[in-house]
């Protein structure tokens, strides 16, 4: 696990950066002067009381750039404090079968015990926030056994007039894929969740190592580190530069370890208060441990964004893509196609929220293929039934096809789905309980020997319960 040590060093470095005095950013992104930092803080107790009574609260607009590495949000609560909140979580998966042999019904369970933490440190020209969850797990399935899990999301931002610099780090070590992991519960994400959870990295799908094929088995860790620089050319236009390094590593043999390096440049223009147009060019390089193959992918995309604070956040991307292979396949080392993405979050009513994302383009192959042409869509709908009760549905689908020049038919492909529903109840101010059902499915035009009983498809049923508790916010200043 020498790479895991490197990840912990990166996290430690980012944590050290937050020693610079920092503030909850409530200013415009590059393209306009920053708003003055607030020095009169709303008491946390008053804000929490207002939230419990269902009253509206100040919302900071989301100012992430359209052509940057992160997805847009509806905004965030304007809590003008530096604080940290520790907590505890427990989760249990009851599975209809083992992924090692999903064609045989043999129920088993996996329990997760861990701690979580959300931290926000803010100052006049910067902000640091971190969400962390980690602990141990124990499974009745001997193929899974016992181990530990870790999930971390870190954002460090600096703002100086026209300049905005961001460092984003997202790391996870899990006994299974993140695609659909603990869907519908807080166990799926780092931190304490709720309105007190600090902003998550929210990285675009193209900057994250893909792992959307279930038959890539065993514990694995994924890591993506992004540096982004935004410069306001004028009050309406901005230039965005971003670079990232990512990796996907498996503890067990038989899977494909992947590394990627991504560089992008974007220009965007705010045509109105709520609408932005942009152009984006991006290079992605993929390497595979122990494999001679390497992939260089070039994409140019037009972009459109629409944001209305508290109501809608939309991003659309599309354009041509050229893929070059180090080792030619079928006598050809180049492939021309298209790439695109869409991210949408909508508050349909005061009680109903919808979110979804879609991405099409070249990916690392999810630990099974040495590069893939991928389509992936995920979404959720949440409904507040009453003050303590909330329900929702969640779903995801991906198709990964081995890269062959000129879209040659017959290429190996894998189709993966998850879908289900969830129900959550608040237990007072500081705790909650949730339960969810999820069906996990996979099919392929190839035999899947890694699952133990060679087959071309399988379905697994999963019941999840999760309990979380956290302290009151511990104010730093």
pTM of the model: 0.85
For 94-153, how does the pLDDT look when each residue is reduced to its tens digit (9 = 90+)?
999 887 776 677 899 999 999 999 999 988 889 999 999 999 999 998 888 899 999 999
Summarize the confidence of residues 261-265 as an average pLDDT.
98
Q: Is residue 286 a contact partner of residue 273, using CB atoms and an 8 Å limit?
A: no
Query: Which 3 state secondary structure label does DSSP give 313?
Result: strand
For 154-169, how does the pLDDT look when each residue is reduced to its tens digit (9 = 90+)?
999 999 989 999 999 9
Q: Is residue 330 a contact partner of residue 346, using CB atoms and an 8 Å limit?
A: no
Say yes or no to pLDDT of 255 above 60. Answer: yes
- Report the distance separating Cα 427 and Cα 445, nearest Å: 47
Nearest to 345 by CA among 111, 146, 76: 76
Domains and CATH numbers, the chain: 2-475 (2.40.160)
Nearest to 243 by CA among 282, 200, 209, 276: 282
**474: how many CB neighbours lie within 10 A of its CB?**
11
- Report the distance separating Cα 438 and Cα 363, nearest Å: 25
Say yes or no to pLDDT of 334 above 80. Answer: yes
Confidence band for 57, pLDDT divided at 50, 70 and 90 = low
- Report the distance separating Cα 420 and Cα 357, nearest Å: 17
Using CB atoms within 10 Å of the CB of residue 271, give its burial: 0 to 12 exposed, 13 to 18 middle, 19+ buried: exposed
DSSP state string for 28-70 = PPSSSPPPPPP-SPPPHHHHHHHHHTT----EEPP---TTSSB
- Return all residues near 368 (Cβ < 8 A) that are at least 6 apart: 213, 215, 216, 255, 256, 400, 414
Confidence band for 450, pLDDT divided at 50, 70 and 90 = low
**94: how many CB neighbours lie within 10 A of its CB?**
16
Query: Which 3 state secondary structure label does DSSP give 407?
Result: helix
- What is the pLDDT at residue 22? 36
- Report the distance separating Cα 434 and Cα 328, nearest Å: 50
- What is the pLDDT at residue 408? 61
Say yes or no to pLDDT of 25 above 60. Answer: no
């Amino acid at each position: 696990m020498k790479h895991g040590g490197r990840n912990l060093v990166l996290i430690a470095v980012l944590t050290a950066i937050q020693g610079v005095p920092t503030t909850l950013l409530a200013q415009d992104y590059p393209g306009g002067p920053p708003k003055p930092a607030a020095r009169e803080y709303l008491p946390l107790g008053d804000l929490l009381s207002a939230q419990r009574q269902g009253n509206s609260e100040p919302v900071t607009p989301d100012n992430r750039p359209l052509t940057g590495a992160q997805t847009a949000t509806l905004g965030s609560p304007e809590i003008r404090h530096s604080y940290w909140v520790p907590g505890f979580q427990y989760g249990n998966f009851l599975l209809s079968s083992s992924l090692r042999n999903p064609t045989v019904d043999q129920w088993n369970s996996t329990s997760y015990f861990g701690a979580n933490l959300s931290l926000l440190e803010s100052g006049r020209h910067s902000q640091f926030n971190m969400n962390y969850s980690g602990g141990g797990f124990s499974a009745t399935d001997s193929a899974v056994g016992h181990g530990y899990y870790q999930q971390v999301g870190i954002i460090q931002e600096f703002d100086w007039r026209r300049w905005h610099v961001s460092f984003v780090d997202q790391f996870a070590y899990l006994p299974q894929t993140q695609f659909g992991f603990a869907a519908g519960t807080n166990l799926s994400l780092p931190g304490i969740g709720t309105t007190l959870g600090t902003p998550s990295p929210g990285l675009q799908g193209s900057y994250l190592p893909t792992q959307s094929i279930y038959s890539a088995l065993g514990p694995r860790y994924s890591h993506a580190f992004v540096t982004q620089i935004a410069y306001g050319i004028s009050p309406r236009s901005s230039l965005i530069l971003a670079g990232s390094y990512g990796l996907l590593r498996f503890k067990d043999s038989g899977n494909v370890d992947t590394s990627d390096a991504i560089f992008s440049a974007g220009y965007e223009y705010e045509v109105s208060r709520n609408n932005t147009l942009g152009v984006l060019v991006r290079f992605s390089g993929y390497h595979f441990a122990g494999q001679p193959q390497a992939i260089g992918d070039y994409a140019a995309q037009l972009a459109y964004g629409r944001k209305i604070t508290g109501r809608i956040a939309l991003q659309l991307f599309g354009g041509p893509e050229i893929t070059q292979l180090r080792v030619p396949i079928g006598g050809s080392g180049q492939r021309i196609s298209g790439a695109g993405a869409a991210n949408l979050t909508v508050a349909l009513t005061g009680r109903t929220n919808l979110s979804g994302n879609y991405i099409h383009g070249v990916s690392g192959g999810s630990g099974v293929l040495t590069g893939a042409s991928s389509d992936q869509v995920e979404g959720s709908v949440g409904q507040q039934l009453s003050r303590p009760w909330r329900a929702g549905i969640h779903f995801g689908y991906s198709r990964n096809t081995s890269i062959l020049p000129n879209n040659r038919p017959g290429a190996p492909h894998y189709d993966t789905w998850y879908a289900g529903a969830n129900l959550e109840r608040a237990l007072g101010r500081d705790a909650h309980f949730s339960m969810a059902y999820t069906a996990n499915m996979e099919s392929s035009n190839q035999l899947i020997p890694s699952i133990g009983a060679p087959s071309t498809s399988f379905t697994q049923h999963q019941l999840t319960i999760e309990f979380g508790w956290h302290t009151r916010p511990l104010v730093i200043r």
